[in-house]
A and B are shown apart, each in its own frame.
Chain A
Amino acid sequence: MTSQLLASGINESFLVVILASAVLYGTPLLFAALGELLAERSGVLNLGVEGMMLVGAVMGFWAVQRLDVASGASLALAIGVAAIAGAAMALIHAFLVITLRANQIVSGLALTIFAGALGLSAYLGNDLNLSGFPADHAFTPIDVFGLGDVPVLGPIVFDQSALVYLSWACVLAVGVYLARTRPGLNVRAVGESPAAADAMGINVTVYRYAHTLVGGALAGIGGACFSLQLTPQWVAGLTGGAGWIAVALVIFAFWRADLCLVGAYLFGAFSALPLTLQARGWLTGVPSEVFTSLPYVMTIVVLVAVSSSAAKRRLGAPAALGIPYVREER
Chain B
Amino acid sequence: MRLERRLEHPRWLLVAVPLGSIAFAFLLMAVVLLATGHNPGATYRRMFDAAFFANGALTSTLVFATPIVFTGLAAAAAFRMQLYNIGGEGQFYWGAIAAVGIALYLGDQGVGSTPVYVLAMSVAGALAGAAWAAIPAVLRAFARTNEIITSLMLNYIAGLVLTYLIIDSHSYWRDTESFEGQTFPLGKAIPDEAKWPSGTLDAFGGIVVPLGFGIAAAVAAVIWAVYSRTRFGYELQVIGDSQRTARFAGMRLRRKILAVMCISGAVAGLGGASFEGDFAYQIDPTGLQASFYGYTGIVVAALARYSPLAVVPVGFFIGGLLNAGFTLQGADFPAGLVGVMQGLILFCALGGEVLVRYRFRLGRGVRRAPDTPSVEAAS
Contact = CB atoms under 8 A, between A and B. Distances in A.
- The 7 A-B residue pairs whose C-beta atoms are closest, nearest first, are A114-B343, A123-B336, A119-B339, A122-B336, A118-B339, A110-B346, A102-B350
Contact of A47 (B143, B148, B150, B346): B148
Interface residues of B, number: 49
Interface string A122-146: 1111110000000000000000000
Contacts of A329: 5
A114 B149 contact: no
A285 interface: no
Given A120-B340, A122-B336, A287-B169, A100 B350 contact: yes
A278 interface: no
Contacts of B152: 241, 244
Nearest to B167: A289
Contacts of B354: 100-102
Interface string B338-379: 111011101100110110011000000000000000000000
B165 to A, nearest CB: 10
Nearest to A307: B145
Interface in A85-102: 92, 96, 100-102
Given A96-B347, A123-B340, A244 B153 contact: yes
Contacts, number: 151
Contact of A127 (B160, B296, B334): B334
A300 B136 CA distance: 9
B251 interface: no
Contact of B154 (A124, A126, A300): A300
Contacts of A308: 143-145
A119 B336 CA distance: 5
Contact of A122 (B5, B139, B339, B346): B339
B336 A296 contact: no
B156 to A, nearest CB: 5
Interface residues of A, number: 53
Interface of B: 3, 5, 36, 79, 84, 86, 139, 143-146, 148-150, 152-154, 156-157, 160-161, 163-164, 168-169, 292, 295-296, 298-299, 302, 334-340, 342-344, 346-347, 350-351, 353-354, 357-358
A329 B4 CA distance: 10
Given A114-B339, A123-B335, A288-B168, A105 B292 contact: no
Contacts of B343: 110-111, 113-115, 119-120
Contact of A289 (B161, B292, B337, B350): B161
A34 to B, nearest CB: 18
Contacts of A293: 156-157, 160
Contacts of A153: none
By secondary structure, the A interface counts as: helix
Contact of B351 (A100, A117, A244, A288): A100
Given A118-B338, A122-B336, A102 B153 contact: no
Nearest to A96: B350
B160 A292 contact: yes
A234 to B, nearest CB: 13
A102 B353 contact: yes
A293 B90 CA distance: 13
A126 B335 contact: yes
A304 B145 contact: yes
A300 B158 CA distance: 14
A315 interface: no
A113 B334 contact: no
Given A293-B160, A300-B154, 17 more contacts: A100-B351, A101-B358, A102-B353, A106-B79, A110-B302, A110-B343, A113-B298, A117-B339, A120-B343, A121-B336, A122-B336, A126-B335, A244-B149, A287-B168, A289-B168, A297-B157, A326-B3
